[in-house]
Structure 1
Amino acid sequence: MKRLSTVKWSVLGLALAFQMSCSSDSNKPNANAEGEKPSTEAQDTLSENVTEAPATEANLAKIVLPDGFKISYYAQKVVNARSMTLTPNGTLFVGTRDKGSVYAIVDRNKDNKADEVITIATGLRMPNGVAFRNGSLYVAEIHRILRFDNIEDNLKNPPKPVVVYDKFPTEEHHGWKYIAFGPDDKLYVPVGAPCNICLSEKPVYAAINRMNADGSGLEVFANGVRNTVGFDWHPDTKELWFTDNGRDLMGDNTPADELNKAPKKGMHFGYPFCHAGDVLDPEFGKGKNCADYTAPVQKLNPHGGTLGMEFYTGTMFPENYRKQIFIAEHGSWNRTEKIGYRVSLVRTDAQGKTTFSPFAAGWLQEGKEWGRPVDVEVMPDGSMLVSDDMNDAIYRITYSGK
């Protein structure tokens, strides 16, 4: 679950001006750059009751899952739902990118269905990333990290946020962030490349950075990371794993998106010189050797928009899902034939060999999408939540088969 403890083991508006990549195989399950602009208008804090019958229940019949699995709505009317974090008390916080809002979703009667969606902040600049630590909610905007203290006791009257850090770059291109606290109790904050393909002299770009919880001690942890919007730590080894979106304008099938592993600080994952471990960039790859950089553990869908990922640490799903990786594929935005729009599974065997296959598919129907998965979150009972910023929903996937 991106960790249910006091520490969470767990962030564009100019797409016509920039070429952006959010980005594999059959959609049979196995056992952004889309041009929107962020909201800048502040709104009143509000809440919505979500207990009425869902209006689009029929859509769920389109989702294909392995035998024994079922999908349902956990919450609806979660407009532009993006990255998620779960508190030990069961509050689900959800960030947005284009809406500029942050939500708290509560299930008071513990029936595994949200009772209320509460808007705790509005008018923020792409507040995609959320993380929870010691009673405080951390929210990542483009250029800064905010902290809402004692937030669960004040959901309807949230405190004025504390600015933890405000010196990140201001570019929106790959500027929205996924954030999470690692096993070292540091806050990990990526900064994507401010372009499709470029080389910046500032080391904060195209990197996963980390800092202390109070905003001090900022340092680069991993280099050559074009744009990660999802990462997690292995439950046993505590190694960081992360998704990375490949560059655009090299064709529909090149390069692949990536799943990477960073067991230590200082590793370089290739961007902008080498992509997917074996594709030299036509401009920045001249004179370079892909062998000098860390190759991905697993190649993913080219331009599939691989975003949130999480190790499965629950017990509801069958044994062969334990400690395996679920990945939300947001879907392609500029590929000739659309790809992604699903939740996929990466398995690793005892020899370290990985496989990549669909798990939940059906948000793309005959080339037309009706939903776009963004993030996944494992719940205490072992079920899994999936956020969708197009259908404005949080889904719940359960297993009851043999």
Structure 2
Amino acid sequence: MRKKICSVVVSTAFLVAAAGAQAEPVLQGKDAYGDWRTDKPGTVRLIRPQDLVKPGATPSAALSAPVVPRPAEAALQVPAGFKVELFADGLRGPRIVRVAPNGDVFVAETRTGDIRVLRAGEGGKAATNEVFAAGLKRPFGIAFFPSGDNPQWVYVANTDSVVRFPYQAGDLKARGKPETIVASLPADGGHSTRDIVFTPDDKRMLISVGSVSNVAEGMGNPPGGLDAWSRTQPLGAAWASETERAAVLAFTPDGKERKIYATGIRNCVGLAIQPQTGLPWCSTNERDGLGDDLVPDYVTSVKEGAFYGWPWFYIGGHEDPRHAGARPDLKDKVTIPDVLVQPHSASLGMTFYQGTQFPAAYHGDAFAAEHGSWNRSKRTGYKVIRIRMKDGKPTGEYEDFVTGFVVSDAEVWGRPVGVAVAKDGSLLVSEDANGTIWRVTHP
């Protein structure tokens, strides 16, 4: 294990190592890249499009992440002044976490097909643990509708559909069988997660759908030819098995008026609405196979009608060599993401901080969970990062916030997936390797 850093804060669960209080310099260019051994809370990174290496600068590596039971001496690290303690354990692969207006914590156990409800008791740890709904098909996204303190429905995004349950504040069990709102989402293999958010005016429902493939291998030509296709489809839309994939879809809350909202986003795993602007944001897994330091994952605002490059380009006009010359018409139409994250980090769930418990500097910032790499020779990710904002706009910088899930070069005990702000302003972090949720507080 890594040595603990700086002072130790006593927790009822694990002892927590806190990062140093002094501001760290911003690591840029090649210095912004690292691996789990150099991660520590407070480390700030800035990766820019001009910093990218050429494809194939290093071989494409395969380094799996064997999961071991959580070691007794395991300690999560957080910035100075924060502490982290166990909120819940014994869960079955908890993934996305969403907090109901009354404070109940809804958790998607994707592999088992369950939505679970946790309720905090004395000391902040989960004291109530109930299965809200079972028998779903790889559920992931959860949303409450309409907005406000008294939602009437809980929406769940399955891998192939969207369903909803009638809801009243405090329900621990679903009131009857689910009502199907969207009967068919693309679901034939590939990325299975579907997140869901509603726009602030409650008029639109957005659903993220990842690609089938890494980089649309063998997609071929669209029906009727590229020119005809491009005239009738959204900018950068894919076809064949990738139809309506690598995209964010839009519907009315009743599942009608189906449209493609944005394209070229390989795997938008986590969706969130930025409170200051009302814009949807997306935490994205980019493509593999181009070496250790390509292609950056990213966290970005998602503009309606925008094209983010996949599969032909990445991070602006950088052409993927596996599609060289295929779509020159799109090169100057690629929207560059707001915040680039170290390649292969596997950025998953995200949220914006609107609580009052953390220092004022955190208000309006975003957090994202990095599930961890497999396509990199030196392990990276396996942490929670803070996305820095200034006056509601991203600076491009991100900061290590929770680290310590890796045991060694060969083993990990935790893989972060979901992040959510609890009613009391603490930050909840799920990891699906050992089935735990952690609570970060600022006493």
Q: TM-score range by the shorter chain?
A: 0.7 to 0.9
2:180 maps to 1:180: no
2:257 maps to 1:217: yes
2:157 maps to 1:159: no
Contact 2:160 2:184 in 1 (8 A): yes
Greater alpha carbon shift after TM alignment, 348-357 vs 61-70: 348-357
- Counterpart CA distance in 2 for 1:166 and 1:176 is 16
Letter in 1 for 2:166: D
Shift of 1:258: 1.2
- Counterpart CA distance in 1 for 2:92 and 2:317 is 39
What's 1:313 paired with?
A: 354
Shift of 1:383: 0.7
Q: For 2:75, what is the secondary structure of its paired residue?
A: coil
Q: Which of 80, 86, 94 lines up with 1:67 in the alignment?
A: 80
What's 2:407 paired with?
A: 365
What's 2:313 paired with?
A: 274
Letter in 2 for 1:255: V
Give identity over the alignment, percent.
33
- State how 1:2-401 maps to structure 2 within 5 Å: 24-25=33-34, 26-30=38-42, 58=72, 61-107=74-120, 109=121, 111-133=123-145, 134-150=151-167, 155-156=172-173, 158-185=175-202, 186-198=204-216, 200-201=238-239, 203-262=243-302, 264-286=303-325, 287-288=327-328, 290-349=331-390, 353-367=395-409, 368-400=411-443
- Counterpart CA distance in 2 for 1:123 and 1:208 is 26
Give 4+ residue runs of structure 1 displaced > 6 Å after superposition. none
Deviations 1:86-131, CA, capped at 9 Å, x for gaps: 1111221111222222111123x46422112212333322111111
- Counterpart CA distance in 1 for 2:388 and 2:421 is 16
Letter in 2 for 1:273: W
Deviations 1:283-316, CA, capped at 9 Å, x for gaps: 2242536432001111102111101111111121
- Counterpart CA distance in 1 for 2:267 and 2:334 is 17
Cα gap change, 1:213 to 1:335, in 2 (>3 Å)? same
Contact 2:99 2:423 in 1 (8 A): no
Q: For 1:320, what is the secondary structure of its paired residue?
A: helix
Q: For 1:327, what is the secondary structure of its paired residue?
A: strand
Contact 2:208 2:271 in 1 (8 A): no
- Counterpart CA distance in 2 for 1:137 and 1:293 is 35
Greater alpha carbon shift after TM alignment, 80-89 vs 146-155: 146-155
Bigger Rg, which one: 2
When the two structures are aligned, how many residues end up with a matched partner?
354
- Counterpart CA distance in 2 for 1:76 and 1:96 is 13
Contact 1:203 1:220 in 2 (8 A): no
Deviations 1:16-51, CA, capped at 9 Å, x for gaps: xxxxxxxx44311117xx899xxxxxxxxxxxxxxx
Contact 2:357 2:441 in 1 (8 A): yes
Contact 2:197 2:273 in 1 (8 A): no
Letter in 1 for 2:351: E
- Counterpart CA distance in 2 for 1:144 and 1:151 is 23
Letter in 2 for 1:272: P
Cα gap change, 1:63 to 1:357, in 2 (>3 Å)? same
Q: For 1:291, what is the secondary structure of its paired residue?
A: helix
Q: For 2:159, what is the secondary structure of its paired residue?
A: coil
Q: What is the TM-score of this pair, normalised by structure 2?
A: 0.75
- Counterpart CA distance in 1 for 2:442 and 2:170 is 33
Shift of 1:280: 1.3
Shift of 1:206: 1.1
Greater alpha carbon shift after TM alignment, 351-360 vs 375-384: 351-360
Q: For 1:83, what is the secondary structure of its paired residue?
A: strand
Contact 1:142 1:172 in 2 (8 A): no
Q: What is the TM-score of this pair, normalised by structure 1?
A: 0.82
Q: For 2:262, what is the secondary structure of its paired residue?
A: strand
- Counterpart CA distance in 2 for 1:96 and 1:187 is 22
Cα gap change, 1:151 to 1:102, in 2 (>3 Å)? farther
Q: For 2:361, what is the secondary structure of its paired residue?
A: helix
Letter in 2 for 1:249: G
Cα gap change, 1:345 to 1:71, in 2 (>3 Å)? same
Contact 2:252 2:258 in 1 (8 A): yes
Shift of 1:57: 8.8
What's 1:8 paired with?
A: none
Q: For 1:358, what is the secondary structure of its paired residue?
A: strand
Contact 2:388 2:394 in 1 (8 A): no
Deviations 1:192-235, CA, capped at 9 Å, x for gaps: 11111115316511110121121111211111111011122222
- Counterpart CA distance in 2 for 1:158 and 1:35 is 39
- Counterpart CA distance in 1 for 2:348 and 2:415 is 11
